[in-house]
Amino acid sequence: MEKICLESFETPYFLVDETRLRRNLSVLKSVCDRTGCKILLAQKAFSMYSVYPVIREYLAGTTASGLYEAKLGHDYFGGETHVFSPAYRENEFEELLKVADDFVFNSPNQLRKYAQRAKAAGKSVGLRVNPEHSTQDGHAIYDPCSPGSRLGTTLANFDESLLPLLDGLHFHTLCEQNSDDLQTTAAAFEEKFGKYLHGLKWVNFGGGHHITRPDYDIERLIGVITHFQDTYGVQVYLEPGEAVVYHAGFMVTSVLETLRNGMDIALVDTSAACHMPDVLEMPYRPPLMHSAQAGEKAYTYRLGGPTCLAGDVIGDYSFDKPLTEGDKLVFEDMALYTMVKTNTFNGMPLPSILWRDKDGQGWLVKQFGYEDFQSRL
C-alpha cells in the first residue's frame, strides 16, 4: 500500500476505517468467546483482502459462493474456508477440493453427486435447508424463504437416507435483522429439522445477523447459540457479512455540476448504478454526512450520477448551504456490498480503494484505470 493524503486524494473512492472495523470485530469476537461459536466472514459482502490479516485476528475463516471466493479466502485469509453453491460446476469441483474445508450442498441431488468425493478428500459436508419461515419485510429479492425459492431443501424434499453423508445442516434466511428474527427462524428450523441434528457435528445459522448494530440484542443471540449447543452438542457457525464492516466504510464523491429541473439537482462523480447498485436494487437511500431528509434543511438536492441511465439517482438530501462544484460529499456505511458489486457500465471508472489506519494515516490500496474497463470486453 502507498501512503497518501486523504484530504487531497482524487474522488471517487471507498475508504475503510481500521478503528471502526476493529470495533465491529471485537463485538463479534466477544460472542465467540462467550459461547464457543465460530464466526466466518461472508466474502460476498466484503472481499477487501488487503485487510484480511486484521480480520483474521478475530474471526475463524471465510465463506464463499464459488471457486473464486473460495480461492481468495484460502489464499489471503486462511483459517477455515467454507463454500456453498446452489449448483456446483463439475469442471471446478476438483479445484474447490484443494482450497475449501467445508462444502454445503443445496439439494439432495447435489449431495448425491458430490458428497462422496468431498468426504474422500477429508472435507466436512453439509446440506442447506429451507425452514420455510420468512421474516423479510419489503425486499423479497433478499428472502431465501419466499415461495418458489431456489435456495435450500424443504422438509418435503429432505432425504433421510442421505444422513450418513452429512456432518451438519445450514440455514440462511435473514437480511440485516435482529436476533428476535433469528430466534423465530431457529425455532422453525428446529421444529422441522432438529431431530436430524443429533449425531451431527455442526449447524450453521447463515448470515444476515446485524450483530454490531447498536440496538442488536446480543443476549438473545447468545441464548439461541447456547440452546443449540446444549441440546444437540453441535458446533454453531454464523457467517455475517455486513456486521463485520457495519459503518466502517465510506464513499467520498465530488459535486461535478448543479442544475435545476423543477428542483435542484447535483451531479456527482459516483454512480448508484455502477458503484452502489443496492441503492437501486433494494432500493434504499444511503446515509450521507451533514445532510438531512429532503426539506428538513434549507437547500434540497437530488443527487445523481454521471451515467446516461435516467434512473442513476442516489436520492434526495437537504443541506445547510447550497452545493457548488468541487464540494465533497461523504456517504456512510459503504464498505458492504459495494466494492464487491461495482461495474464499469457506460465506461464509468471504478472508485479507488483506500484504507485509514488506527493513527488516521491514509493508504492507497488500489486504483483503477481505463485498462480495467477495456480488459473486460
Q: Pairing between strand 362-366 and 249-260?
A: unpaired
pLDDT at 22 over 80: yes
Query: How big is the chain by its Cα radius of gyration, in Å?
Result: 22
* Among the listed residues 338, 335, 342, the one whose alpha carbon sits nearest the alpha carbon of residue 307: 342
Same-domain check for residues 274 and 297:
yes
SS3 letters across the chain: CEEECHHHCCCCEEEEEHHHHHHHHHHHHHHHHHHCCEEEEECCCCCCHHHHHHHHCCCCEEEECCHHHHHHHHHHHCCEEEEECCCCCHHHHHHHHHHCCEEEECCHHHHHHHHHHHHHCCCEEEEEECCCCCCCCCCHHHCCCCCCCCCCECHHHCCHHHHHHCCEEECCCCCCECHHHHHHHHHHHHHHHHHHCCCCCEEECCCCECCCCCCCCHHHHHHHHHHHHHHHCCEEEECCCHHHHCCCEEEEEEEEEEEECCCEEEEECCCHHHHCCHHHHCCCCCCECCCECCCCCCEEEEEECCCCCCCCEEEEEEECCCCCCCCEEEEECCCCCCCCCCCCHHHCCCCEEEEECCCCCEEEEECCCHHHHHCCC
234 and 269 co-located in one domain: no
The dihedrals phi and psi of 36, each to the nearest 5 degrees, come to: 85, 5
Q: Using the 3D structure, point to which of 215, 245, 275 is the last residue of a domain.
A: 245
What is the band of 134 on the pLDDT scale with cuts at 50, 70, 90?
confident
Of 198, 213, 245, the residue at which a domain comes to its end is: 245
Q: Is the pLDDT of residue 138 over 80?
A: no
Instruction: Please tell me whether residues 227 and 331 are part of one structural domain.
Output: no
One domain for residues 178 and 251: no
Beta-bridge partners for 169: 127, 203
Query: Could you tell me which of 304, 365, 321, 322 has the C-alpha nearest to residue 16?
Result: 365
Q: What is the mean pLDDT of the chain?
A: 96
Percent of the chain with pLDDT over 70: 99
Residue with cell string 464487491: 340
Q: How far apart are CA 372 and CA 15, in angstroms?
A: 20
Kindly state whether residues 56 and 176 are assigned to the same domain.
yes
Name the residue range of residue 168's domain. 18-245
Shared domain for 100 and 145, answered yes or no, is yes
Question: Residue 130: phi, psi to the nearest 5?
Answer: -115, 105
Q: Which of 9-13, 173-177, 198-202, 224-228 has the lowest mean pLDDT?
A: 173-177
Domain end call among 193, 227, 245: 245
pLDDT tens per residue, range 312-332: 999 999 999 999 999 999 999
159-176 tens-digit pLDDT: 999 999 999 999 999 888
Do residue 9 and residue 41 come from a single domain?
no
In one-letter notation, the amino acid at residue 223 is: G
CA distance 286 to 204: 30
Give percent of the chain with pLDDT exceeding 90: 93
CA–CA distance, 333 with 331 (Å, rounded to integer): 7
Q: What pLDDT is stored for residue 175 in this prediction?
A: 87
Number of domains forming the structure of the chain? 2
When pLDDT is averaged across residues 153-157 and rounded to a whole number, the result is 96
Both 239 and 350 in a single domain? no
**Which pLDDT belongs to residue 227?**
98
Clarify whether residues 72 and 176 are in a common domain: yes
CATH code, 316: 2.40.37.10
**pLDDT value at position 135?**
86
User: Which pLDDT tens digit goes with each residue over 32-54?
Assistant: 999 999 999 999 999 999 999 99
Contact in structure between 14 and 251 (CB atoms under 8 Å):
yes
Beta bridge partners of 268: 255
Under 8 Å between Cβ of 89 and 70? no
Q: Are residues 50 and 147 in the same domain?
A: yes
- For residue 187, give the CATH number of its domain: 3.20.20.10
List the Cα angle 180/186/192 in 5-degree steps: 145
The DSSP bridge pattern shows strands 124-128 and 102-105 to be: parallel
CA–CA gap between residue 166 and residue 181 (Å, rounded)? 26
Cα(298)–Cα(321) distance, integer angstroms:
7
Count the Cβ atoms, other than its own, within 10 Å of residue 150.
Answer: 11
pLDDT at 305 over 90: yes
Q: Report the pLDDT averaged over residues 340-352.
A: 97
Residue matched to cell numbers 447435489? 110
On whether both 49 and 70 belong to a single domain, the answer is yes
Task: Say how many C-beta atoms besides its own lie within 10 A of residue 98's C-beta.
Answer: 10
| CA–CA gap between residue 284 and residue 366 (Å, rounded) | 27
Does pLDDT of 290 surpass 80?
Answer: yes
pLDDT at 140 over 80: no
| Same domain membership, residue 227 and residue 82 | yes
Residue-wise pLDDT for 168-198, tens only, equals 999 999 888 899 999 999 999 999 999 999 9
Distance CA 362, CA 355 (A): 6
Q: Can you tell me the distance from the alpha carbon of 330 to that of 148, in angstroms, rounded to the nearest whole number?
A: 40
